[in-house]
Amino acid sequence: MTEFEMAGLTPQHFLWEVKDRIATVRLNRPERKNPLSFESYAELRDTFRKLVYATDVDVVIFASNQGNFCSGGDVHEIIGPLTKMNMKELLAFTRMTGDLVKAMIGCGKPIISAVDGICVGAGAIVAMASDLRVATPDAKCAFLFTRVGLAGCDMGACAMLPRIIGQGRAAELLYTGRVMSADEGERWGFWNALHAPEALEAEALKLAQRIAAGPTFAHGITKTQINQEWNMGLEQAIEAEAQAQAICMQTQDFVRAYNAFVAKEKPVFEGN
C-alpha cells in the first residue's frame, strides 16, 4: 500500500476529523453512551491499519462524545448475537476485536485517549491500548467482562493492564469487573492526568500538538520500541535501541536539532 492522506476519510460508523496533522476519532452513538458494533469494530480496525501509511496525520486523539467515551460492545447488537454463534464464528469475532488493538499498537502514530464519563468493556480496552490517557474526575473505567460471564483476558487485557498499573491491581479489576475511579486510575498510572470536563479536549489537543511539533519520525520509532521490547530481554532491548537510535541519527530532524542548539534557537522538526 502506498502513502496517502486521510483527511478526506468519511467513515460510516464513527466521526473523523484531521486538522493540523492531528486526527480526532469519536464514536457517535451518544444516546447509548457510544457502544461499539460489529461494523464499528471492523471500520476502526481498518482505519488504524491505514494510519501506518498516512502522510497527513502525526497524532491521533480518541475522544469522548457528549459526556461519555464508550460503553463497550452493544448488548443487543453484539452480546445477543454472540450467544447464538458457533465456535468458528465466535473465534472470528474475538480475533477481529483483538485486531483493533493490534492495529492501534502498529499504526505508528501516538494515540491519546481523552475519556469522560463511561469507559467500560471494550471502551476500557481502547483506552488501555492508547499510548497516553487523560480523563475527567468523573470518568468511570471498568474491565467488566466477568460481569457478563466472560474471562478478564479480552483483547490483550491480561498482557497490557498489569504492565500499566501492576499485577495485583490489574488482577483485582479483571476478576471483579468493578469500576476503577478516576482518582485510583491517576494514582496507579492508568491516567496520565485528570482535567475538568470543559478542559479535557483542549488539554488533550495541547498534548497532541506538543507531540506533533516534535520529531514525528522518531516518535514512530519510540512507539515501535515501547511495544516490541515487551518481548525482549535487557541485552536484546539495548541492542534494538542502539539500532533504532542510529536510524534516527540519519534524519534531518537530528541535524535540525543540533543546528538550532548551536544557534540558540528552538528546533522546527519536519518529521524526516
Residue 66: closest CA among 110, 15, 109: 15
pLDDT score recorded for residue 2: 74
Whole-angstrom Cα distance, residue 11 to residue 60?
15
Residues of the chain falling short of pLDDT 50: none
In sequence order, the 6+-apart residues with CB closer than 8 A to the CB of 131 are: 110, 111, 112, 223, 226
Whole-angstrom Cα distance, residue 108 to residue 139?
27
pLDDT score recorded for residue 71: 97
pLDDT score recorded for residue 254: 95
User: For 88-102, b where at least 16 C-beta lie within 10 A, e where not — what string?
Assistant: eeeeebeeebebbbb
CA angle, 11 then 114 then 139, to 5°: 120
For residue 86, count other CB atoms closer than 10 A to its CB: 7
Contact 21/205 with Cβ under 8 angstroms?
no
Helices (H), the chain: 38-51, 80-82, 87-106, 122-129, 157-165, 167-176, 182-188, 200-212, 216-228, 234-248, 252-262
CA dihedral defined by 61, 168, 177, 106, rounded to 10 degrees?
30
Contact 155/99 with Cβ under 8 angstroms?
no
Whole-angstrom Cα distance, residue 166 to residue 163?
6
pLDDT by residue (tens digit) across 35-67? 999 999 999 999 999 999 999 999 999 999 999
Query: Bridge partners of 60?
Result: 23, 111
First to last CA, the chain: 20
Distances (CA, A) of 190 to 115, 132, 160, 235: 12, 9, 11, 28
pLDDT score recorded for residue 1: 58
